[in-house]
């Protein structure tokens, strides 16, 4: 299935709820949808379009909102993107339709603070045990501290 | 009576220390929990704070063994973002070094895998031959381990006729050796007993759990990024995708052995058909990338590697996402380690199953065995765990 077919089929099925669809390159498809139908679109791509291999779930801090991207498919990479508000970052978990999402969603949850509803085990997996609660390192407001450079003689 | 056995988190050769909490009944493993929180280095954040040319050096250091795959994936990503393409000669040179590093990674894995199973002779043999490959990497790139060969827009150096002839000699030598090892592994009953039927992963489960690389191909699924999404002249270079339908640890060994042969053939083909011309585009030391996004995929020795970057038009990436193959394969480890129905997993199989995905977890530093019934804790050493594994080998 080529890039154009994927876009046509998703547009046909979901109509206006698909906000944006384009091909950023060869064998790449990018689809932006409303958060309510995000899981439904992923399920449709996985079951009906046959791209049942989930290669990753990523999160991006876009300022006022957070973006979640599910990346599916062996040959054609189908990126399903959705924007959720930063003050209420909740989205449906994909784990019940695609178990591979488990670790990826845990990672996005810890690094960006996105809450995946109905995730089976949202415990800490990636960040160290002593990492403070509520600090999300991949958000733009988090600025890492740089250790002071060592000087000869140990002064400052 | 059930025990909990934590395995990890320290082990010397893998960059991602990992903790597995195994719940066992007798020698059977009934449940497993994974923890990878020990060495989160924040490289994705660090890449946001560096310019594109600086990022290359960091991306290369994500993984020591797959450094070539990471630097290639990074370069492809930034080239896509800039709308540039490496010259044909650079593509072929990239394939040569990529396949050399695949051979070295597979030989390292094979040697280490048999070491954890208690077959020291094969360990010595594989690692001796790996030295030849390391020497070739050093000749071609200037470094044994972190090659720093790929740069944005091409490769760092060209190949000379002297290196060419040495590479061909190495390929001939290694091909003969690998044939011998393959025959030895196929005909060694104690080895087959340790591998066959251990760590079963059915194809449908492998896809469902997002498994990648040789691990996936050993479950009979024909997926290889080089075939499905050719990225560096792989359309022109002939190669076979090795699959095995045994779905067990034996298949994982044989897939990797098969891939070593394929990689050697690819190197020989690339040497024969090396295009002439430039090996590197001229790139400014600092540049801005146009607004956009790009996703690059590379078949690293352990499986599909994904880099995804978003540019806001500045000198640094707005967001850089890396998905390494080991993370993708971890979910399947948890599934393979659980006994269910007729499928039984013993503690002694843990090194074989864990090792099968190539995370190098077998070098577990120490193991705490908690006896829930007696409420006692004792710390065993790696040697003890290995002895467990070996005794099982001897019994068979």
Domain parsing of chain A, residue ranges: 3-154
The CA distance from A103 to A106, in Å, is 5
pLDDT score of B186 more than 60: yes
Q: What are phi and psi of B255, to 5 degrees?
A: -60, -45
Mean pLDDT of A44-61: 90
Distance from CA of A26 to the nearest CA of B (A): 9
Say whether both B11 and B89 belong to one domain: no
Give domain status of residue B246, yes or no.
Answer: no
- Model pLDDT, residue B194: 87
Residues B317 and B349 in one domain: no
The total number of structural domains in chain B stands at 2
85-114 in chain B: CB under 8 A from chain A: none
* Average pLDDT in chain B: 84
| Residue B378: pLDDT over 90 | no
User: Which of A55, A104, A107 lies nearest to residue B304, judging by beta carbons?
Assistant: A55
The answer to whether A127 contacts B40, with C-beta atoms less than 8 Å apart, is: yes
Question: Of the given ranges (A116-125, B32-41, B68-77), which has the lowest mean pLDDT?
Answer: B32-41
The pLDDT, as a whole number, for residue B15 is 46
Does a structural domain hold residue B239? Answer: no
Residue B276 has pLDDT above 70, yes or no: yes
Mean pLDDT on B242-248: 91
Q: At which of B283, B311, B327 does a domain end? A: B327
> Would residue B292 count as lying in a domain?
yes
Query: Based on the domain organization, do B375 and B281 belong to the same domain?
Result: no
Which residues of chain A lie closer than 8 angstroms to B326, CB-CB?
A: none
Question: What sign for the dihedral angle of Cα B346, B348, B350, B352?
Answer: negative
The matching CATH number, chosen from 3.20.20.10, 3.30.460.80, 3.40.50.300, 2.30.110.10, for A3-154 is 3.30.460.80
Q: What is the pLDDT of residue B385?
A: 52
Q: B156 and B22 in one domain?
A: no
Average pLDDT over residues A103-120: 90
Indicate if B136 and B275 belong to the same structural domain. yes
Q: What is the DSSP string of B318-378?
A: SEEEEE-HHHHHHHHHHHHHS-BTTB--BGGGHHHHHHHTS--GGG--EEEEEETTTTEEE
Mean pLDDT is highest, among B23-32, B39-48, B154-163, for B154-163
Which pLDDT value is given to residue B312?
93
Mean pLDDT of B367-389: 45
B295 lies in some domain: yes
Domain limit, last residue, from B284, B305, B327: B327
pLDDT score recorded for residue B20: 77
CA atoms within 13 A on the CB side of B357: 28
Q: For B295, which of A28, A60, A107 is closest by C-beta distance?
A: A28
B321: nearest CB among A52, A58, A100: A58
**What confidence tier does B389 reach under pLDDT thresholds 50, 70, 90?**
low
Q: Are residues B335 and B285 in the same domain?
A: no
The tokens describing B91, both together, are 């593509």
User: Cα distance from B210 to chain A (closest Cα, Å)?
Assistant: 5
- Name the residue with higher pLDDT: B180 or B349: B180
pLDDT of residue B269: 96
Contact flag A103-B327 (C-beta cutoff 8 Å): yes
Average pLDDT (B60-69) is: 87
- Comparing alpha-carbon positions, the chain A residue that sits nearest to B230 is A75
pLDDT at B352: 79
**Are residues B242 and B178 in contact, defined by beta-carbon separation less than 8 angstroms?**
no
More confident residue, B274 or B372: B274
Cβ <8 Å between A144 and B80? no
- Which candidate from B208, B310, B321 shows the least CB-CB separation from A100? B208
Decide if pLDDT at B357 tops 90. Answer: no
Q: Considering the domain boundaries, does residue B252 fall inside one?
A: no
Confidence of residue B102 (pLDDT cuts 50, 70, 90): very high
For position B168, which CATH number holds?
Answer: 1.10.645.10
Q: Is B45 on the interface with A (CB under 8 A)?
A: yes
User: Is B307 part of any domain?
Assistant: yes
Do B341 and B321 sit in the same domain of this protein? no
- The tens digit of pLDDT for each residue in B224-241 reads 999 999 999 899 999 999
CB-nearest to A103 from B80, B228, B330 is B330
B143 and B284 co-located in one domain: yes
The answer on pLDDT for A156 being more than 60 is no
Domain range enclosing B118: 43-189+270-327
Closest CA to B301 of B331, B332, B271, B263: B263
- Residue B160 and residue B129 in one domain: yes
Contact yes or no for B193/B395 (Cβ under 8 A): no
What's the rounded mean pLDDT across residues A42-58? 90
Which of B293, B306, B317, B336 would you mutate first to test chain A, the one with the most A CBs within 10 A? B293
Confidence of residue B278 (pLDDT cuts 50, 70, 90): very high
Query: DSSP state, A133?
Result: T
| Alpha-carbon span B304 to A64, nearest angstrom | 33
B17: how many CB neighbours lie within 10 A of its CB?
18
Q: Are B35 and B380 a contacting pair, CB within 8 Å?
A: no
Chain B positions in Cβ-Cβ contact with residue A104 (cut-off 8 Å): 323, 327
- Are residues B160 and B102 both part of a single domain? yes
Q: Is residue B218 part of a domain?
A: no
Average pLDDT along chain A: 88
Whether residue B12 is contained in a domain is answered as yes
Residue B113 pLDDT level (bands cut at 50, 70, 90): confident
Residue B74's pLDDT is 95
Select from B58, B80, B83, B321 the residue whose CB has the most chain A CBs within 10 Å, as the one to mutate to test that interface. Answer: B321
In angstroms, the separation between the Cα of residue B232 and the nearest Cα of chain A is 14
Do residues B160 and B19 both lie within one domain?
no
B347 and B283 in a single domain? The answer is no
The reported pLDDT for the residue numbered B79 is 94
How far is B124 from chain A, CA to nearest CA, in Å? 35
Range scoring the smallest mean pLDDT among B9-23, B43-57, B91-105, B143-157: B9-23
**Strand order in A54-61's β-sheet?**
A18-25, A28-33, A77-85, A65-72, A54-61
Pick the residue from chain B with its C-alpha nearest to A56.
Answer: B323
Where residue B18 falls among pLDDT bands split at 50, 70, 90? confident
Q: How confident is the model at residue A72 (pLDDT cuts 50, 70, 90)?
A: very high
Say what percent of chain B tops pLDDT 70: 87
Q: Among A53, A55, A125, whose Cβ lies nearest the Cβ of B323?
A: A55
**What was the ipTM of the complex prediction?**
0.91
């Amino acid at each position: 299935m080529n890039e154009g077919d994927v876009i046509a089929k998703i547009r046909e099925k979901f109509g206006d709820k698909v906000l944006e669809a384009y091909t950023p390159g060869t064998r790449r498809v990018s689809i932006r949808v409303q958060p309510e139908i995000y899981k439904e679109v992923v399920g449709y791509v996985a079951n009906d379009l046959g791209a049942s291999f989930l290669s990753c779930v990523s999160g991006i801090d876009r300022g006022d909102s957070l973006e979640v991207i599910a990346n599916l498919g062996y040959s054609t990479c189908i990126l399903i993107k959705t924007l959720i508000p930063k003050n209420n970052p909740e989205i449906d978990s994909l784990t019940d339709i695609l178990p591979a999402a488990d670790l990826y969603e845990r990672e996005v949850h810890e690094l960006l603070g996105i809450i995946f509803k109905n995730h089976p085990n949202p415990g800490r997996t990636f960040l160290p045990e002593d990492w403070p609660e509520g600090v999300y390192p991949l958000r733009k407001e988090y600025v890492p501290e740089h250790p002071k450079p060592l000087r000869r003689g140990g002064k400052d | 009576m059930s025990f909990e056995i934590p395995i990890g988190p320290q082990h010397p050769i893998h960059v991602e220390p990992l903790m597995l909490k195994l719940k066992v009944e007798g020698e059977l493993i009934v449940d497993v929990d994974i923890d990878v929180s020990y060495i989160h280095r924040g490289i994705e954040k660090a890449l946001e704070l560096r310019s594109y040319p600086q990022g290359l050096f960091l991306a290369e250091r994500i993984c020591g063994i797959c450094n070539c795959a990471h630097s290639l994936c990074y370069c492809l990503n930034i080239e896509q973002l800039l709308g540039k393409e490496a010259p044909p000669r650079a593509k072929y040179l990239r394939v040569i070094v990529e396949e050399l590093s695949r051979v070295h990674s597979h030989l390292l894995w094979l040697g280490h895998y048999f070491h954890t199973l208690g077959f020291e002779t094969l360990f010595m043999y594989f690692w001796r031959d790996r030295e030849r490959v390391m020497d070739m990497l050093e000749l071609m790139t200037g470094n044994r381990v972190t090659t720093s060969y790929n740069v944005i827009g091409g490769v760092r150096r060209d190949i000379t006729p002297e290196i060419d002839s040495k590479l061909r000699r190495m390929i001939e030598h290694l091909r003969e050796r690998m044939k011998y090892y393959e025959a030895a592994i196929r005909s060694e009953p104690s080895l087959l007993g340790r591998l066959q039927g251990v760590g079963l992963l059915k194809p449908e489960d492998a896809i469902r759990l997002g498994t990648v690389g040789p691990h996936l191909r050993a479950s009979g699924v024909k997926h290889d990024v080089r075939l499905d999404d050719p990225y560096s002249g792989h359309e022109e270079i002939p190669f076979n995708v090795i699959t095995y339908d045994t779905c067990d640890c034996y298949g994982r060994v044989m897939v990797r052995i098969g891939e070593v042969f394929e990689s050697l053939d690819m190197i020989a083909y690339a040497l024969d058909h090396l295009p002439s011309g430039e090996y590197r585009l001229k790139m400014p030391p600092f540049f801005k990338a146009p607004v956009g996004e790009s996703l690059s995929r590379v078949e690293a020795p352990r499986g599909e590697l994904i880099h995804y970057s978003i540019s806001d038009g500045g000198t640094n990436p707005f967001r850089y996402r890396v998905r390494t193959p080991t993370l993708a394969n971890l979910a399947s480890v948890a599934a393979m380690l659980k006994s269910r129905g007729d499928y039984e997993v013993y503690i002694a199989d843990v090194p074989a199953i864990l090792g099968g995905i190539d995370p190098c977890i077998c070098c577990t530093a120490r193991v705490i065995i908690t006896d829930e019934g007696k409420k006692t804790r004792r710390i065993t050493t790696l040697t003890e765990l290995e002895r467990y594994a070996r005794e099982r080998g001897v019994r068979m």
